[in-house]
A and B are shown apart, each in its own frame.
Chain A
Amino acid sequence: MNDPGPTPATARSLEEVYRPITRRTFLKGAAASLVGMTGLMAALRPLLELERGEITVDELLQRHYRELTPQELERILRALEEKTAREYGVRPHIRDIRPQPGVEFAYALNLTRCIGCRKCAHACLRENNQSRETPDDIEMSYIRVLELQKGAINLETSNLYYDPERVPQPDKYYMPVQCQQCRQSPCTKVCPVQATWQEADGIVVVDYNWCIGCRYCMAACPYDARRFNYKKPTLPPEAVNPNQSYLSNRIRPKGVVEKCTFCLHRTREGRYPACLEVCPTGARVFGNLLDPDSEISYVLRNKRVYILKEEVGTLPRFYYFFEK
């Protein structure tokens, strides 16, 4: 009102609204639409670079893992094998391995024995088909080994990127941290689409074909145990571990969250997780909590056990203990 200058909707242009469209207006409109469409197409041009098979109708229509019939799951597994063969040059064997009845897995780690060699973190990368070319790739390992100053358990002053000539350093000790497979898991609680959940044997898994990639679970995790695929994994054919399962180590698509699954494709068949097998000092103990004769039950009954961030109330199935 203060400024009598031109206005967006002048009385003259308003009158036009009530009149039928003239040929001139129509042509002007058509020309403008053409310019607009061209702009839109130019803006969306990168979409042409999408790889073939990156988004398939089958995957868009696929239902949640827990709702699939055995036939549907079978078809999906074969399609995934096909896709991996096409993209990575190796045909894997992808299976769906279910929890065993009467089993609840737990892990214990002997902090007195761990020497911080990071063999577990690297074995994890290999077992779980993660890319390992750049330092950023190494960050994807499900296991983070912290170097701590002796005299306290203070994560705040821990160092992840320690690189001395030899480990262990005399004034340091080491704490590998991976998914704690919590009984009260914040990550599964916050997922808006239930793409992550606890299995009957206590393992927290992710349906990579269902995850929408919002990363709320990563914000929720008090242990920094979840990783996001910011890019598509890069693996030469010889680096692919062909023994894969749907809920664990099959090669993940980009844009989804992944995490430690206690190597369920091994442990559900009676083998040890890759990180335990490779540990040179025997610092790692894994087994069935429900079996009173298992090594893990013995450790929990008899050792001085420490629970990481117990105050957060997550009730982990991962324990630390101290003993020579």
Chain B
Amino acid sequence: MKEYLVFLYRVARLSFYGSARFYAWMGFLTVLVLLGLHAWARQFVEGLQVTGLTNQVSWGAYIANFTFLVGVAAAAVMLVIPAYVYRQEHMHEVVVFGELMAIAVIVMCLCFVMVDLGHPERFHHMIPPFGIFNFPGSILSWDVIVLNGYLLLNLHIAGYLLYCRYRGRKPARPFYIPFVFISIAWAISIHTVTAFLYVGLAGRSYWHHPLVPSRFLASAFVAGPALMILTFQIIRRVTEYFIGDKPLYTLRMIMTVAMIINMFLLGCELFTEFYFPTQHAAAAQYLYFGLHGHRGLVPWIWTAIALDTVGLLLLITPASRRIGWLNLACVTCFMGIWIEKGMGLIVPGFVPTPLGQVVEYLPTWNETLVCVGIWALGALLYSWMLHVAVPIMNGSLRARPADAASLPGDAASVAAA
């Protein structure tokens, strides 16, 4: 127990030590977080009238980002499966970083839900015994359970492995292996349940569609690995931790397969909507071509389709074996999916309204600032976790610093974990 407190104390101290570049980066993110917090405080006082939301389009940028990010969090499973199920040693170099990313991203998801609430101060109404939890009726209550459960699972697994490493002892398998396997199923569940939030609404034909959960998972397993490939390169560039190219190429393969499935499912969706358009195709009509002269999302969705297509072409050709092209593919896929799964999925659910009205939605500045703030918070959290985790992983932060020299500093011993 005392050892653990010392550990926490050292982690806290370490959090505030770093190079000028580290301070500049964290300072920059903190400023963005504070700007977002300020915008949210304004929203809290004046109400959601400071957003672009209306009675017709009652969910917007917040829920769009939330939906997209749940997928990114779920994608940590794409490191866990190769590492623990297929026992690919090279994936053990990075699996902890994927779990830490999931933690940061889930926190972002929870923030996006909180800022969307009209009465965040009544949040305890969801938590028995203070409140009433509409379980299992409401899919939102399922989502609360799976998201928080996933957060706890990852906190436990990553926290336990890092602490063992800090103490220089071998992690006890019963303490983490069962949780690792639970987390695999759990990761799938968070994104499936999030898809069911929409699929369960029979009155919104654009969402009431059995393909939605599959597409959610496929696109998540593109966007998540894309972000990981990019951040792992940053980690190996700016920290003293070695990540080889092999994990990047494993992720590339996963991305490629997922992107092919994603684009195939998109094709199926487009065929169903447009081969013989019914009244239910009005939302897709609005999204891709505009409806009754309203074309707000048309440039966005075609940008997304273009980005997705470029990404797909780069991934399926040998071009992306070169890191530079692979990075480009990651950026285009990430952006493309962010658009199509965020605004491209949420807003057309409301346009036209169930009564046939077309009301367009555009986020306001205040809303955008809140979103930027939450993204910055995620980056801040992840940077902080890496700042602490990397020295533990490479053996420079130890329970007994004298041991540090005698232990191998590279990833090989991590792989044993």
Contact = CB atoms under 8 A, between A and B. Distances in A.
The listed residue with most B CB atoms (<10 A of its CB), out of A9, A64, A156, A191, is A9
A17 B13 contact: yes
Contact of A3 (B35, B46, B238, B396): B238
A155 B31 CA distance: 48
A5 B238 contact: yes
A234 B41 CA distance: 22
Contact of A219 (B16, B59, B120, B141): B59
Contacts of B116: 214-215
A193 B131 contact: yes
B48 A230 contact: yes
Given A46-B41, A223-B354, A191 B138 contact: yes
B265 interface: no
Interface string A145-158: 01000000011111
Given A11-B396, A44-B38, A215-B58, A6 B200 contact: no
Give the size category of B's interface with A. Answer: 35 or more
A224 B21 CA distance: 52
Q: Which of A15, A43, A160, A223 has the most chain B CB within a 10 Å cutoff?
A: A43
Contact of B355 (A160, A189, A257): A160
B41 A47 contact: yes
B119 A213 contact: yes
A158 B203 contact: no
Contact of A46 (B42, B131, B239): B42
Given A8-B239, A13-B18, A212-B117, A146 B355 contact: yes
A226 to B, nearest CB: 8
Contact of A44 (B41, B121, B123, B198): B41
A157 B356 contact: yes
Nearest to B38: A43
Interface in A32-56: 32, 36, 39-40, 42-47, 49-50, 55
A272 interface: no
A218 B241 CA distance: 49
Size class of the A contact interface (CB-based, 8 Å): 35 or more
B236 interface: yes
Interface in B129-179: 131-134, 137-141, 144
Interface in A126-141: 139-140
Contacts of A44: 37-38, 41
Nearest to A311: B202
Contact of B140 (A14, A15, A42, A214): A214
Contacts of B137: 189-190
B44 A140 contact: no
A39 B144 CA distance: 31
B126 interface: yes
A5 B236 CA distance: 12
B58 A232 contact: no
Contacts of B18: 8-9, 13
Nearest to A207: B125
A10 interface: yes
Contacts of A232: 47
A6 B349 CA distance: 48
B390 A144 contact: no
Interface string B172-208: 0000000000000000000000000110111110000
B288 interface: no
A220 B132 CA distance: 20
B203 A221 contact: yes
A47 to B, nearest CB: 5
Contacts, number: 237
A10 B19 contact: yes
A190 B122 CA distance: 17
B240 A1 contact: yes
Interface in B34-58: 34-35, 37-38, 41-42, 44-49, 51, 53-56, 58
B353 A224 contact: yes
Contacts of A228: 48, 53, 55, 58, 118
A220 B122 contact: no
Given A8-B21, A193-B126, A14 B240 contact: no
A215 B55 CA distance: 10
Contact of A17 (B48, B353, B397): B397
A14 B391 contact: yes
B118 A254 contact: yes
Contacts of A194: 132, 134
Q: Which residue among B48, B354, B355 has the maximum number of chain A CB atoms within 10 Å of its CB?
A: B355
Contacts of B357: 158, 160, 224
B201 A219 contact: yes
- Looking at B49, B138, B401, the one whose CB has the most chain A CB atoms below 10 A away is B138
B55 A177 contact: no
B317 interface: no
A256 interface: yes
A216 to B, nearest CB: 5
B20 interface: yes
B70 to A, nearest CB: 16
Contacts of A254: 47, 118
B119 A255 contact: yes
Contacts of B56: 224
A154 B278 CA distance: 12
B300 interface: no
A211 B118 contact: yes
Given A212-B126, A223-B355, A255-B119, A43 B132 contact: no
A211 B35 CA distance: 28
Contacts of A158: 355-357
B232 to A, nearest CB: 12
Contacts of B31: 39
Given A13-B18, A15-B401, A43-B38, 16 more contacts: A14-B14, A140-B55, A186-B202, A190-B140, A192-B138, A193-B126, A211-B122, A212-B117, A212-B118, A212-B126, A219-B350, A222-B203, A227-B55, A309-B203, A309-B354, A314-B203
Interface of B: 10, 13-14, 16-22, 30-31, 34-35, 37-38, 41-42, 44-49, 51, 53-56, 58-59, 113, 116-123, 125-126, 131-134, 137-141, 144, 197-198, 200-204, 236-242, 279, 282, 349-350, 352-357, 387, 390-391, 396-397, 401
12 contacts: A5-B238, A42-B38, A47-B45, A189-B138, A192-B134, A192-B141, A193-B131, A214-B113, A220-B203, A231-B46, A255-B48, A313-B202
